[in-house]
Amino acid sequence: MGICDGRVVIVTGAGRGLGRAHALAFAEQGAKVVVNDLGVAQDGSDPSDTPAQQVVDEIVAAGGEAITSSHDVADWDAAGEMVQSAIDTFGGLDVVVNNAGIVRDRMFVNSEQSEWEAVLRVHVMGHAAPSRHAATYWRARSKAGEPVDARIINTSSGAGLMGSIAQAAYSAAKGAIASLTLVQAAELGRIGVTANALAPAARTRMTEEAFADMMAEVDEGAFDAMAPENVSPLVVWLGSPESADVTGRVFEVEGGIIGIAEGFRHGPRFDKGARWDPAEVGPVVADLLQEATPPTPVYGAG
């Protein structure tokens, strides 16, 4: 018996890295899994069904149930087809884990339009489209009087919360995902859907290239803090019935650490009670900055 017995889960970007670890962990806990992955190289070329199929084969060999999906999750219609495939194959849908992503690392002043469009498309639309189609399904069930206990689990990043040097597009996309999570949680709670996000630190194709020293594998027998499998237990718990009262949160996960990120909140303010003259603003802002909590430094700064 697992904590996700009988639940139907979609994991996007599940052919490798974090997504693969999530898919295997959900299956181990009794879920039926749609393993979605385009199987492309890091530059988006050479799509292949092989990575997703290998994960499905692992799940089936261990006695679980899974199917592959090669749908482009950033394409509105394709994302809808993926959701429908889960429903048609397994009789429903309970969890969407939005994990697919890419990077195009470059200093902001050198960044190109095509890079911005690619990163925002995969991350933002790749989160919004699957969740939107899943939410439509869950709303219809709720309106029909059926119980809904569903989950959206998004993947943000420390870069999205604090920013990261040479990752302007990626940081912007991941910040958008954190904000999207808050809105999903606020809007969908009434129909039985929670929405939470992760800001994981783990070894993936993207992080191995950007942070080679940090992501290096450790000696055999030592705790491998950057192993993607360390992130998956929280993801599986968030996808289970046990997490029904947790929503609108961003979790930071690294090695054996689970934390909750505390985002923007109203800070110190001063009300003049009338319109400001520009010459008056400087001293007031200086006082407010003295009262405010200093921001967490941008990753890679200084």
Residue 205 has pLDDT above 70, yes or no: no
Per-residue pLDDT tens for 259-301? 999 988 999 999 999 999 999 999 999 999 999 999 999 999 8
Average pLDDT along the chain: 93
Q: Does residue 216 carry a pLDDT above 80?
A: no
CATH number at 8-260: 3.40.50.720
List the domain boundaries for the chain: 8-260
pLDDT in the model for residue 233: 97
The DSSP symbol for 144 reads: T
Q: Known catalytic residues?
A: 157, 170, 174
Residue 280 and residue 231: Cα distance in Å, rounded?
Answer: 49
Predicted confidence (pLDDT) at residue 50 exceeds the cutoff of 60: yes
CA distances from 264 to 26, 246, 278 (A): 32, 19, 26
Model confidence band, residue 222 (pLDDT cutoffs 50, 70, 90): confident
Beta carbons within 10 angstroms of residue 260's beta carbon: 12
pLDDT in the model for residue 210: 52
Average pLDDT over residues 91-106: 96
pLDDT in tens, 113-152: 999 999 999 999 999 999 999 999 999 999 999 999 999 9
> How far apart are alpha carbons 70 and 229 in whole angstroms?
23
Asked if 23 contacts 35 with a C-beta cutoff of 8 angstroms, the reply is yes
64 in helix, strand or coil?
coil
Angle 17-28/50-61 helices, nearest 10 degrees? 20
Query: Which residues have C-beta within 8 Å of that of residue 104, sequence separation ≥ 6?
Result: 111, 115, 116, 118, 119, 169, 170
Tell me the per-residue pLDDT of 145-199, one tens digit each, with 9 for 90 and over: 999 999 999 999 999 999 999 999 999 999 999 999 999 999 999 999 999 999 9
pLDDT at 80 over 70: yes
Q: Indicate if the pLDDT at residue 2 is higher than 80.
A: yes
Q: What percent of the chain has pLDDT over 90?
A: 86
DSSP state of 292: S
Per-residue confidence (pLDDT) for residue 136, from 0 to 100: 98
Query: Using 50, 70 and 90 to split pLDDT, how confident is the model at 209?
Result: low
Which pLDDT belongs to residue 226? Answer: 84
Is pLDDT above 60 for 44? no
Q: Is the pLDDT of residue 247 over 80?
A: yes
Provide, rounded to the nearest whole percent, the portion of the chain with pLDDT above 70. Answer: 91
Tokens for 64, please give them.
């679980």
Residue 214 above 80 pLDDT?
no
Q: Is pLDDT of 9 > 90?
A: yes
Let me know: does 92 contact 8? Beta carbons within 8 Å: yes
